[in-house]
Structure 1
Amino acid sequence: MKHGKKYLEAAKAVDRSIQYDPADAISTVKKLATAKFDETIEVHIKTGCDGRHADQQIRGAVVLPHGTGKQVRVLVFAKGAKADEAVAAGAEFVGAEELIPRIQNDGWFDYDVVVATPDMMGVVGRLGRVLGPKGLMPNPKAGTVTMDVTKAVKEIKAGKIEYRLDKTNIIHVPIGKASFTEEQLSDNFQTLIGAINKAKPATLKGQYLKSVTLAPTMGPGVKVNTLKLA
């Protein structure tokens, strides 16, 4: 993969031979975000888990104290009073069966998170092939299949993010924007790491957090000292 001049220039500021203390990593990664837009700061966590085993799957959600800096659009599948609740809580889109063809046939994806009440999962299940690959399928572990739609929508709006292993056993999540202060990014980062540490599978042998890297959208990654994250 070829990198542009700005990326290569920024990469010179990173010492690849060392793992940075969390505070130094955050300070460095903020300086690396030199794009003309407000870059997202992401965390990439390589774990020692083997996601092929059900007991080593990691999936959950955590509310970042300062949010992600992104406006999150929520779609809620609910009926009756629960649909009214979702609207009152601030969900952008609320509906039931009538939304299926719009998503399946028209490729409608103008939302970032999908929430559903349990009674609607029979309907939403029909969208598994479409929503699943995009990471949009509601899931009880992530708190997106629930009767408490008010709480779900409000938490998502407040900065709740979902984390899960990808096929290479890596977790990729945003922890804020380059415009955030170092303290805000640090709070979000520590909250996320706390949640990931709690989610460590009991059956895992060996090292859990193999590597943790912070990176801005357009810049190089900065490795964090995993020994400081226990």
Structure 2
Amino acid sequence: MAKKGKRYQEIAKKVDKMKLYTPEEALDLVFDTKSAKFTETVELAFRLGVDPRHADQQVRGTVVLPHGTGKNVRILVITSGDKIDEALKAGAEYAGDDEYISKIQGGWLDFDLVIATPDMMPKLGKLGKLLGTKGLMPNPKSGTVTTDVAKTVDEFKKGKLAFKVDKLGSIHVPIGKVDFDKEKITENFKTVVDQIIKLKPDTSKGQYLRTVAISLTMGPGIKIDPLLVNSYVSK
């Protein structure tokens, strides 16, 4: 394991690894853990009380952050005809059909999100392994398969996020940049947590939010008491 730098070690001393912080404490403390020269992303991590091996315990959805993520999402739209121009006018970096499918097959992945119209999904099937392993395969449940490409591109540009529980039962979501003020990060935090709670599967038994942590890109994780999150979000 790589040794952490002195700057990181000094920052890490501010965080008690054994403590479960209140949401208010964690949201204050995360701003004191800046250690990088670039503008770090504020990230939320959850471990859920679900078994992702079962289809009825998958947690997958979208959420629109009221203040966005602070990142320009590079969008590729796989579509045809007039919808290509619609996608580009709405702000997509790339839009097209067979040309881009061939580029991806050749190893091109210079984008953060793929949106597709339903008629193009059969063609995208051949890219399942390549896009699926990177979490880029369009899916109706994540809102990335649509006939209204202009509206969908606009929503993701303004801060809509798609998320999915991984095989370990975890979800990682960016909720802004460290140069956001605390109020904006707090509102984004509440929005994400509220949506994940709403998506609790009926078959999930016991404690649903097992662990919740907030951190910066290069900073230490700050553990939040999951039993306090519900009441905080509902304030």
TM-score tier, shorter chain, comes to over 0.9
Normalising by structure 1, we get a TM-score of 0.97
Query: How far, CA to CA, are the matches of 1:82 and 1:71 in structure 2?
Result: 22
Count, aligned residues = 229
- Corresponding residue for 2:11? 10
CA displacement at 1:91 relative to structure 2: 0.7
- Corresponding residue for 2:94? 93
- Corresponding residue for 1:69? 70
Question: 1:134 is paired with a residue of what secondary structure?
Answer: coil
Query: How far, CA to CA, are the matches of 1:58 and 1:13 in structure 2?
Result: 33
- Corresponding residue for 1:201? 201
Query: How far, CA to CA, are the matches of 2:109 and 2:18 in structure 1?
Result: 42
Query: How far, CA to CA, are the matches of 2:133 and 2:22 in structure 1?
Result: 35
Query: How far, CA to CA, are the matches of 1:216 and 1:45 in structure 2?
Result: 15
Query: How far, CA to CA, are the matches of 1:48 and 1:115 in structure 2?
Result: 30
- Corresponding residue for 1:116? 116
- Corresponding residue for 2:210? 210
Question: 2:133 is paired with a residue of what secondary structure?
Answer: helix
Mapped contact 2:75–2:153 kept (Cα < 8 A): yes
CA displacement at 1:15 relative to structure 2: 1.9
- Corresponding residue for 1:182? 182
Question: 1:42 is paired with a residue of what secondary structure?
Answer: strand
Query: How far, CA to CA, are the matches of 1:151 and 1:20 in structure 2?
Result: 39
Mapped contact 2:143–2:162 kept (Cα < 8 A): no
1:97-133 per-residue CA deviation (whole Å, 9 max, x = no partner) reads: 121221112x111110000000110111111111111
CA displacement at 1:23 relative to structure 2: 2.0
Query: How far, CA to CA, are the matches of 1:134 and 1:61 in structure 2?
Result: 17
Query: How far, CA to CA, are the matches of 2:13 and 2:101 in structure 1?
Result: 49
The Cα RMSD (Å) is: 1.0
Mapped contact 2:114–2:136 kept (Cα < 8 A): yes
- Corresponding residue for 1:125? 125
Question: 2:16 is paired with a residue of what secondary structure?
Answer: coil
- Corresponding residue for 1:144? 144
Query: Which 5+ residue runs of structure 1 have no aligned equivalent?
Result: none
Runs of 4+ in structure 1 displaced over 4 angstroms? Answer: none
Query: How far, CA to CA, are the matches of 1:153 and 1:50 in structure 2?
Result: 32
- Corresponding residue for 1:19? 20
Query: How far, CA to CA, are the matches of 1:132 and 1:8 in structure 2?
Result: 36
Percent identical among aligned pairs is: 55
CA displacement at 1:171 relative to structure 2: 0.4
